Amino acid sequence: QECMQLVTDRRVRHLPVVEAGRVAGMISIGDLVKAVIAEQQQQIEQLESYIHR
């Protein structure tokens, strides 16, 4: 959520991943969207499972 807010507010497409003060990689807006979709899909599956009990 925080990363998505950063890319939206600052209008950037990539964020650095910093580990121990060094850049370890980059995260793209596409990576963030995929993560959000996967999380929502998991929630949908859990709700469907609950409904069909």
- Per-residue pLDDT tens over the stretch 28-53: 999 999 999 999 999 999 999 999 98
Q: What is the pTM of this model?
A: 0.74
CA distances from 53 to 5, 26, 37 (A): 36, 42, 25
Are 10 and 4 contacting, i.e. CB atoms less than 8 angstroms apart? Answer: no
CATH class in words for 2-51: alpha beta
Confidence of residue 11 (pLDDT cuts 50, 70, 90): very high
Provide the pLDDT for residue 26: 98
